[in-house]
A and B are shown apart, each in its own frame.
Chain A
Amino acid sequence: MLAARVLGVLGVLFVLSIIVFAMMYLAPGDIVKNLLGNRPANPDVVAAVREQYRLDDPVVVQYLTWLKGFVTGDFGESIRLQVPVAQAIGDRIAITAALCGLAFLVSVLVAVPLGVRSAVKAGGWVDRTGNALSILGLSAPTFAVGLVLLYLFAYYVPILPVYGGGDGGLDTLRHLVLPAITLALGLGAIIVKLTRTAMLRELESDYVTFARSRGLGERMVRRIALRNAAIPIVTGASLVLTFLVGGTVLAETTYALPGIGTLLQDSVLFKDIAVVQSLTLLVAVVIAVIALLADLAYLLLDPRVRRQMGAAS
């Protein structure tokens, strides 16, 4: 079953790679001109580009060459930056990964306890406040939240940096706080809702009644219920992780962070096709891996599924 799942993911990635490759031809304008960027178009350079991208070969060969490059880590050359794409991405991926990781951590650490608390005291003030906050978090667009926080912290309470990525280490971490909160708000809102719903259902179940009737303390009962609720929460949360991928473009742009998001935005505006292709496919791979990990988490969390998988393989 897991093997089938991996094969399915590979199939999806294969189809995506064809679409991404086709972008080169689908982009408006002459393909050589697009690949040249703002370099002067003399015959020598044109010939070099045609040679480099094998434009004279059949499309299938071009695709296979390109795919081989992608798989082996050779993503081509960025027209705008005049460096290999791998290097351009490598320089920026750390800050984006840190941003996404921090945002995920913040949202889980705040949202799960808030969701549990909301479910345990359903209708109480924590529940109502949490509900209002999560509606706000769900409905406010990331860029709007970003701008509000930016305005607030740049002007009224200038305690956190609002521009750039800092000088590494703790300074970078400080620079990441606001963008991470911006991203975490939307993500956290979904996790609060997921946790609350799952916990409410678990707290209604027979095993909770049975546990209470045996004299188990309320904290223990909540732990047991949360362990059961973890199955829907983890699968749900890992799926909304993909939300971060889109959100990071907006957050990085708002706070001028030199990450993958700004690289993607600049490359799209500049028609830097090699970078856009690589980033698009990279994002697809990341999302596919997250979805696979979600399945694995399911396997770890639910002993019933574990046995079925064991029997099927």
Chain B
Amino acid sequence: MFLINCPYCGERDQQEFKAGGEAHIERPKQPTELSDDEWAEYLFMRKNIKGVQFERWNHAHGCRKWFNMVRDTSNDEIKAIYKMGEKPPAQ
């Protein structure tokens, strides 16, 4: 449980947010040409990092907007928050 600084609403309780999993997984540009292995990679395989991870979050009980977060999953410390479409900060 922690506080999240929504880029649109400011600091709110994590309870208001919904985690959306790993960020920057690009949807395949040519889905019809994908092999089963590539589909599995896109749909199911995750880095699931212990340490600094890039994630998507949604302010579900607030502005309902999506944004990105850089968080250390070993101690839940938030390193950076940036809007969708913005370049991820260098780590």
Do these two chains interact? no
